C-alpha cells in the first residue's frame, strides 16, 4: 500500500521531520504538494464553495487554508481512484508512535473489507470494538473524530467521496465524520500509532473564528445539529447490524 504525505512545498521543517521518521521506520513514501486555497479554487478543484452551507455546518466562515486542505485530500482520493488500489494518506505534522510499521501492515490487510481506517489517536470519539487484529483492535466509530493526519482508503470509497464533494461546504474532517451522509463506516486501529507533533500543536488554521450569526442562522444550525445526532445514532445501529469484516490477522 503506497503512502503519501501531504505537505506544502516550502514546509521545510515538516518535510525534514516526516522524512526522518518514515526513513527510520523503513517505509517508502512520496510527498504530495499540498494546495493553497486560492490555487484550489482557481484550478477548479471544486465547482464552488457554498459559504452559506459552510456557516450552517461549522458555525463560522470558510478560510482559504481549509479549502486548500480539503482540496489536497480530495486530490489524494482522486489519485487513489487512478491507481485502482488502496493508499495511505498522511499530513506532514505527524509524530509516529511505537508499532506504526505493524499498524500499516495490519491496515493493508484489512482495508479492502473496511474501506476507511484511521491510525491517528483521538480524544472525544465514541467507538465499538469490531474484532481483534493481531496485536491491534479494530473499532468502528459511532461518533467519528476530527483530524485527517493518517488514514487508509480504498478506490471505491475514494470515488464516492470525490463525487460527494464537488462543492465545498465544510472542512474535510467534518465531511468524513458524517458517516450517516456518505454511508462509509469509519474504522480505527488501536493502539494508535500516530499523533500530532509539536509542529501541529503550535500551529492552526489562521483566521478561523466563530461568525456572528443572526437568529435564523442559529435556529437553523441548532435544528441541523439535532438532525445529525438522530441520524448518527440511527446509522450507528444499522452499521452494527451489518456483517463485520472477517478476522484478517495474518
Stated pTM of the model: 0.92
Residue range 95-151, pLDDT digits in tens? 999 999 999 999 999 999 999 999 999 988 999 999 998 999 999 999 999 999 999
Residue range 165-202, pLDDT digits in tens? 999 999 999 999 999 999 999 999 999 999 999 887 65
Using DSSP, state whether 16 is helix, strand or coil: helix
Residue range 25-36, pLDDT digits in tens? 999 999 999 999
Averaged pLDDT for residues 59-74: 95
The whole-number pLDDT of residue 245 equals: 62
In the predicted structure, residue 246 carries a pLDDT above the cut 90 = no
Beta strands in 154-212 (DSSP E): 167-168, 187-190, 194-196
- Give the Cα separation of 147 and 197 in Å (integer): 13
DSSP label of 108: H
Residue range 197-240, pLDDT digits in tens? 988 765 555 555 566 668 888 899 999 999 999 999 999 999 99
Averaged pLDDT for residues 153-176: 98
Q: In what order do the strands lie in the sheet with 2-7?
A: 30-33, 2-7, 87-91, 150-153, 116-118, 187-190, 136-143, 126-133
Q: Residue 10, CB half-sphere, CA atoms under 13 Å: how many?
A: 2
The whole-number pLDDT of residue 159 equals: 98
Amino acid at each position: 500500500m503506497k503512502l503519501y504525505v501531504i505537505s506544502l512545498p516550502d514546509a521545510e521543517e515538516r518535510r525534514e521531520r516526516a522524512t526522518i521518521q518514515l526513513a527510520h521506520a523503513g517505509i517508502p513514501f512520496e510527498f504530495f504538494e499540498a494546495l493553497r486555497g486560492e490555487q484550489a479554487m482557481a484550478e477548479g478543484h471544486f465547482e464552488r464553495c457554498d459559504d452559506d452551507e459552510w456557516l450552517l455546518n461549522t458555525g463560522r466562515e470558510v478560510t482559504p487554508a481549509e479549502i486548500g486542505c480539503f482540496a489536497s485530500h480530495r486530490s489524494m482520493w482522486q489519485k487513489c481512484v487512478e491507481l485502482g488500489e488502496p493508499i495511505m494518506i498522511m499530513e506532514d505534522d505527524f509524530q509516529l508512535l511505537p508499532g506504526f510499521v505493524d499498524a500499516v501492515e495490519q491496515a493493508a490487510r484489512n482495508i479492502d473489507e473496511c474501506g476507511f481506517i484511521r491510525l491517528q489517536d483521538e480524544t472525544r470519539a465514541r467507538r465499538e470494538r469490531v474484532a481483534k487484529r493481531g496485536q491491534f483492535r479494530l473499532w468502528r466509530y459511532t461518533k467519528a473524530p476530527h483530524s485527517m493526519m493518517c488514514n487508509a482508503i480504498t478506490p471505491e470509497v475514494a470515488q464516492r467521496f470525490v463525487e460527494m464533494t464537488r462543492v465545498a461546504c465544510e472542512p474535510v474532517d467534518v465531511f468524513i465524520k458524517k458517516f450517516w451522509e456518505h454511508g462509509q463506516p469509519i474504522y480505527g486501529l488501536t493502539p494508535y500509532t500516530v499523533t500530532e507533533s509539536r509542529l501541529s500543536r503550535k500551529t492552526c488554521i489562521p483566521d478561523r473564528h466563530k461568525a456572528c450569526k443572526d437568529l435564523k442562522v442559529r435556529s437553523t444550525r441548532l435544528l441541523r445539529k439535532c438532525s445529525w445526532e438522530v441520524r448518527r445514532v440511527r446509522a450507528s445501529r444499522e452499521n452494527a447490524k451489518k456483517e463485520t469484516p472477517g478476522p484478517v490477522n495474518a
